[in-house]
Amino acid sequence: MATPSSSAGILGAAVAGLAGLCLLPFVGCGGEGVEEGATVRVYVAAPLCAGARQELARKGPRVGEVNVQAVCLASSEAGGRIDLAAIGANARRATQDTSTVGYIGEAEPRAARFSSTILESAGIAQVPGASGRRAMASLLAAIEAAGSTDNLREAVDEEISGSG
């Protein structure tokens, strides 16, 4: 059984831990900028991952001052149908990573609309489409155009939104 003094210590540690979690969005691509040589991530829907990886390999992982990594997501199709729960889980996974600067979404318009509501809340650019190569090329160009900025995620989102 916890004593009042040990309970206060546990509560204090919990509050400190929560305060640390609250600061996470401001590290990486959020409010503090990205350090030179940092790795940023682009999350890619399963059917488009091969093309996106090919484009990243062709261009090279270094874009401006950062390294870009493609993260392939779980398939969002089950039995020939789109699985909205899987799409939501994939989009939330991207939003929970502070190094995320872009999301290459599903080619199916309904799936892209579903994930876009989740991604927009985190300010993450989504490039839907049938070609992973073209989508990755667009994101790499947006990262390069953003240059060194205090908020790479926001700058990439603005580049993608402005070009569409």
Which CATH number does the domain housing residue 90 bear? 3.40.50.2300
Q: What pairing do the DSSP bridges indicate for beta strands 62-63 and 66-72?
A: antiparallel
pLDDT of residue 163: 52
Q: What is the mean pLDDT of residues 68-84?
A: 90
Q: Is residue 43 within a helix (H) or strand (E), and if so which, with residue range?
A: strand 39-44
pLDDT of residue 138: 95
Q: What is the mean pLDDT of residues 83-112?
A: 92
Q: Which residue matches tokens 């300010």?
A: 123
The whole domain housing 71 covers 4-163
Q: pLDDT category, 36, cuts 50, 70, 90?
A: confident
Q: Is 10 exposed, middle or buried (0-12, 13-18, 19+ CB in 10 A)?
A: exposed
Task: Name every residue whose Cβ is closer than 8 Å to that of residue 51 and which is 6 or more positions away in sequence.
Answer: 131, 132, 133, 134, 135, 136
pLDDT of residue 13: 39
Residue 20 has pLDDT above 80, yes or no: no
When divided into structural domains, the chain yields a total of: 1
pLDDT of residue 108: 83
Q: pLDDT category, 31, cuts 50, 70, 90?
A: very low
Q: What is the mean pLDDT of residues 41-60?
A: 94
Q: Give the global pTM.
A: 0.77
